[in-house]
Amino acid sequence: MVTLELKRLGQTFANPVVLASGPAGFGLELASLFRWRPMGGLTTKTVTPTPREGNPPPRLVDAPGGALNSIGLVNPGMEAFVAGVLPSVAELPTVRLISFAAPHPEQAEAMADTLGAAPGTDILELNLSCPNVEGRPPAWEAGTTADMVRAAAAATKTPLLAKLSPDVPDIVPVAAAALEAGAAGLTLVNTVRALRIQWDTGLPTLVRTWGGLSGAAILPIALAKVFQARQAFPGVPIVGTGGVMDLGGLLEMVMAGADLVGVGLGVMVDPVLPWRLVESLETWMTQRGFERYEALVGCAHRGGLHVSEQT
């Protein structure tokens, strides 16, 4: 009997697949799927201290092997989320990771306090890495990452994930800063800052010039960051996110060291994909004779599959 269940961050996940923040919104349109089959977790769309209308269109453009988005953290603001959305999210039968972002540490602290105590929150995810809003993402530097995480983590007992950016030459110092400041785990990674030019006008396609690239195109980048972080922090929970669109991508992410695997753009391409991935993983493990999912996590660091526990 294959078991995909795993305990991390004080929660029991039915399986390692987690809907990444953004593409699934607040998860409510997918409620029937959550009730159809267990899903590891749902990360809600990032909320901010006050409502945001987002960036001017176009907000999503295609790219080879993926898409570039410039959504700009559209959300109703924390107060409206807690009062009007979170009570419905709380009814979904899955682990709920509540994503939030703030421009300053004081606001991150206040948000962590409110969101961490709100019924329905199982885990908090501090988004330090959105490339589509004003200012530099905090996760581009270890110092700003530490300031934000320290403020948020001090305000809550709810486990806090730090969601980091792939746009750094070395993820380890930034991840170390987040963990030393109180993060209980890491979500790696957000979108990759990227550009498209409209060749008939000669101008950037997106109004804000830059967008965030996601989808299969970024899988190798996300794998590299997860691999490096797993090597540096053997016991730290990691949600590996970026480019997982099929079973192969999911397996690579797990073998690189992800405990949990986030699916972002994949759910926009096919809303049932995360559920199919769970089924495919179970079938693959059965065929290969693996009983425990955890035996696969990080096996690339331990001599590969042939020396992993096979029962």
Ligand X SMILES: Cc1cc2nc3c(=O)[nH]c(=O)nc-3n(C[C@H](O)[C@H](O)[C@H](O)COP(=O)(O)O)c2cc1C
Q: Name the site residues for ligand X (rule: CB under 6 A).
A: 20-23, 45-46, 69, 71, 73, 99, 127, 130, 163, 190-191, 214-215, 218, 241-244, 263-266
Strands (E), the chain: 6-8, 11-13, 17-19, 41-43, 60-63, 66-69, 95-100, 123-127, 160-164, 185-188, 192-195, 197-198, 203-204, 210-214, 238-241, 260-263
The residue among 76 and 308 lying less far from ligand X, judged by its C-beta, is 76
Whole-number Å distance between alpha carbons of 245 and 202: 32
The residue among 96 and 163 lying less far from ligand X, judged by its C-beta, is 163
> Catalytic site residue 130?
yes
Strands (E), 38-152: 41-43, 60-63, 66-69, 95-100, 123-127
> Given the DSSP bridges, would you call strands 192-195 and 210-214 parallel, antiparallel or unpaired?
antiparallel
- Least distance in angstroms from the C-beta of 292 to ligand X: 25
- Token pair 């991935």 is found at 277
- Least distance in angstroms from the C-beta of 73 to ligand X: 6
The active-site residue out of 101, 130, 151, 250 is: 130
Residue type, 202: G
The residue among 144 and 241 lying less far from ligand X, judged by its C-beta, is 241
Bridge partners, residue 125, by sequence: 99, 161
Indicate the residue whose CB is closest to ligand X.
22
Q: Long-range CB contacts (< 8 A, 24+ apart) of 79-84?
A: 80/51, 81/26, 81/44, 81/47, 82/114, 82/115, 82/118
- Least distance in angstroms from the C-beta of 244 to ligand X: 5
- Least distance in angstroms from the C-beta of 30 to ligand X: 15
- Least distance in angstroms from the C-beta of 35 to ligand X: 23
- Can you read off the two tokens belonging to residue 66? 């993926």
- Quick check: 144 and 132 in contact, CB under 8 A? no
At residue 211's C-alpha, the angle toward residues 210 and 214, to 5°, is: 145
- Least distance in angstroms from the C-beta of 242 to ligand X: 4
- Token pair 């800052």 is found at 193
The residue among 71 and 290 lying less far from ligand X, judged by its C-beta, is 71
The residue among 177 and 226 lying less far from ligand X, judged by its C-beta, is 226
The residue among 108 and 290 lying less far from ligand X, judged by its C-beta, is 108
Whole-number Å distance between alpha carbons of 12 and 55: 37
Q: Which residues are catalytic?
A: 130
